[in-house]
Amino acid sequence: MNKYLVTLRLKGQLIKTAVFADSSTHARLICEYQFGLGCLNGSPTQLSSEGYDYPLLDDLTGTATHTTKTRPPKPPRAATIKTAKPQSPEQMRVTQLKANVDRQKDALKRERENQKRQREAEHRPRNLGGICGA
């Protein structure tokens, strides 16, 4: 077993760690299995001496969970459009009569407002703007 230095990209941060493996390919496979494909930034490098003090992969796995690449959340489902049952002739007639009543009420209200404005305009004193002679 050899000690390899790997640089991992975890949650957008680069982390250097040491991995014990038989080869650089084995070190890469261990990291990709633990943290997902594409987590390595570069290739594993064999460390020649024990002087380097990098955290071991086992120390990192306590903080990170075993996940593959995170997937974005699924978009919400579109609301399905329910088809309306066609109305029977009797129901259609009632619906039309209700709509006619509403239109007639609005027309009556508009007509009353128009007549009220006309009466107010007739009773308003007209300002001719001329000179009044006494």
Contact predicate 35/8, CB 8 Å? yes
Bridge partners of residue 13, in order along the sequence: 10
Distances (CA, A) of 83 to 80, 86: 9, 9
Say if 68 falls within a structural domain. no
Pair 6, 57 in one domain: yes
Q: Residue 84: how many CA atoms within 13 Å on its side-chain side?
A: 3
Say if 95 falls within a structural domain. yes
Say if 131 falls within a structural domain. no
Residue 93 binned pLDDT confidence (cut-offs 50, 70, 90): very high
Pair 57, 17 in one domain: yes
Residue 38 binned pLDDT confidence (cut-offs 50, 70, 90): confident
Pair 98, 56 in one domain: no
pLDDT computed for residue 58 by the predictor: 64
What is the rounded average pLDDT of the residues 70-82?
74
Please say if the pLDDT value at position 57 is more than 80. Answer: no
Say if 29 falls within a structural domain. yes
Say if 76 falls within a structural domain. no
User: How many domains are there within the chain?
Assistant: 2
Contact predicate 19/57, CB 8 Å? yes
Pair 50, 92 in one domain: no
Say if 116 falls within a structural domain. yes
Range of the domain at 94: 87-123
Residue 14 binned pLDDT confidence (cut-offs 50, 70, 90): confident
Pair 9, 55 in one domain: yes
Pair 21, 55 in one domain: yes
Say if 77 falls within a structural domain. no
Say if 28 falls within a structural domain. yes
